[in-house]
């Protein structure tokens, strides 16, 4: 083994593949996805960094798909980096087959098309209420005033939680997924787990259809789920729904604030909304996950070993010029809009339909009420890298008198 910046470089890592790369590091107001793709796509397809415990980096579309589709070779048992930084495992996300499919079956009825269709009027009503609440002011901080509220309130309705708990849950989830300090993440997990345990006791014998009651009745193939599994599943549903949707929606809002032509295109042709969402998820991918390699194998001339960690940098997938012609251009009529934000293969995001529904309603109701908006010239946005790339602040402004 060779030493690289204080960390021993494994013998199976060629020196020419080593890069100084920390995916948590991001400038405040840059195009995070573009900066990342340019850095990672400039050299060899696959790279290795000593940062965050030492790991491989997959960023090309074919490699991201390879890892996402082969869950036997690329285990999901721990999806965060550095290892050991998440206090509670996440079920079904951090599980492999056959358990993974059994866990998903417990949650699947809450996310099927009929269930999401039933939620849609409530999502629309909430979106309108939030927008109308700040529309007259001519400004908002989009993340805290809108994007962080919409998905968590919808989860609260799915879980039949009291509205008074919203502010508390938003604070805990933000501290868990975007902590200022490691201590904040630990405290947020402790608080949220305590809250979930109380809910579990209240609904242990419930026959209702809310998501927590469904989980409390959950069964594996040959046994009931344990309380630890149930707690983890509820936590995953809460955190997963908030973080990815909030981040994706905020990147979309930032793009539209900078592009009046795309805004006007959507206003004039609202039928493009679904395509716009897919194209913007391609251009501004948010999700990254880590994998653990389960056995030795060879790929692209590299010797991978069991136990190696891989960062699947899905955010760079949509900017791979080998897969997408002119990948920097946002084209709502692009023929190929594939993206990796919701994953591929058996771990494809269970809540993808709900996320798309929330984002489509956001576009419809926002543009109907605030068609012309821009970034606040005196308060620039902030972005942050990580397991989920985020717009952490997005101050927006618009003429205070906008058409209804």
Greatest mean pLDDT range, 29-33, 110-114, 262-266, 332-336: 262-266
pTM: 0.91
Residue 392 Cα to chain centre, angstroms: 13
Q: Where are the domains of the chain?
A: 2-397
- Catalytic-residue membership of 243: yes
* pLDDT, tens digit (0-9, with 9 covering 90-100), for 48-88: 999 999 999 999 999 999 999 999 999 999 998 988 777 67
**From the candidates 7, 119, 349, 353, which is the catalytic residue?**
349
Going by pLDDT thresholds of 50, 70 and 90, the confidence category of residue 402 is very low
CA distance from start to end of the chain: 66
Considering only residues 178 and 256, tell me which one the structure prediction assigns the higher pLDDT: 256
CATH code, residues 2-397? 1.10.630.10
**From the candidates 32, 140, 242, 350, which is the catalytic residue?**
350
- Catalytic-residue membership of 178: yes
- Catalytic-residue membership of 386: no
CB atoms near residue 2 (< 10 Å): 11
Distance CA 47, CA 15 (A): 10
**From the candidates 88, 192, 244, 341, which is the catalytic residue?**
244
**From the candidates 343, 351, 385, 386, which is the catalytic residue?**
351
**From the candidates 145, 175, 210, 243, which is the catalytic residue?**
243
Distance CA 245, CA 352 (A): 9
Distance CA 2, CA 5 (A): 10
Tokens representing 139 are: 């400004």
**From the candidates 9, 60, 178, 203, which is the catalytic residue?**
178
DSSP, collapsed to helix, strand or coil, labels residue 8 as strand
Taking 50 as the threshold, does the pLDDT of residue 350 lie above it? Answer: yes
* pLDDT, tens digit (0-9, with 9 covering 90-100), for 259-287: 999 999 999 999 999 999 999 999 999 98
Taking 60 as the threshold, does the pLDDT of residue 396 lie above it? Answer: yes
- Catalytic-residue membership of 351: yes
């Amino acid at each position: 083994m060779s030493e690289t910046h204080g960390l021993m470089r494994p013998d199976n890592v060629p020196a020419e593949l080593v890069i100084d790369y920390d995916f948590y590091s991001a400038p405040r107001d840059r195009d995070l996805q573009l900066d990342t793709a340019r850095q990672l796509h400039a050299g060899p397809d696959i790279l290795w960094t000593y940062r965050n415990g030492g790991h491989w980096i997959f960023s090309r579309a074919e490699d991201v798909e390879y890892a996402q589709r082969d869950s036997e070779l690329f285990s999901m048992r721990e999806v965060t980096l550095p290892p050991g930084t998440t206090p509670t495992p996440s079920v079904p996300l951090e599980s492999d087959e056959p358990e993974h499919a059994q866990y998903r079956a417990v949650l699947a009825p809450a996310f099927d098309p009929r269930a999401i269709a039933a939620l849609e009027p409530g999502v629309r009503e909430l979106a309108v209420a939030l927008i109308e609440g700040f529309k007259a002011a001519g400004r908002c901080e989009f993340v805290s005033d809108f994007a962080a509220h919409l998905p968590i309130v919808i989860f609260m309705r799915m879980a039949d939680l009291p509205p008074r708990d919203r502010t508390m849950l938003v604070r805990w989830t933000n501290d868990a997924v975007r902590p200022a300090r490691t201590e904040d993440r630990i405290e947020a997990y402790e608080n949220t787990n305590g809250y979930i345990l109380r809910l579990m006791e209240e609904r242990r014998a419930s026959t209702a259809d809310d998501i927590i009651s469904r989980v409390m009745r959950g069964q594996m193939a040959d046994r009931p789920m344990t309380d630890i599994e149930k707690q983890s599943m509820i936590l995953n549903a809460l955190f997963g729904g908030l973080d990815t949707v909030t981040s994706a929606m905020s990147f979309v809002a930032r793009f539209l604030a900078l592009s009046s032509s795309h805004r006007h295109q959507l206003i004039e042709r609202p039928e493009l909304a679904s395509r716009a969402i897919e194209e913007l998820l391609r251009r501004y991918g948010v999700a990254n996950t880590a994998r653990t390699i389960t056995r030795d194998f060879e790929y692209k001339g590299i010797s991978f070993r069991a136990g190696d960690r891989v960062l699947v940098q899905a955010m760079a997938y949509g900017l791979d010029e080998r897969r997408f012609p002119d990948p920097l251009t946002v084209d709502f009529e692009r023929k190929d809009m594939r993206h990796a934000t919701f994953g591929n293969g058996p771990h494809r995001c269970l809540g993808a339909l709900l996320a798309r529904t929330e984002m489509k309603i956001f576009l419809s109701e926002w543009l109907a009420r605030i068609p012309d908006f821009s970034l606040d010239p005196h308060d620039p946005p902030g972005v942050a890298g990580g397991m989920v790339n985020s717009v952490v602040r997005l101050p927006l402004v618009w003429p205070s008198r906008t058409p209804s």
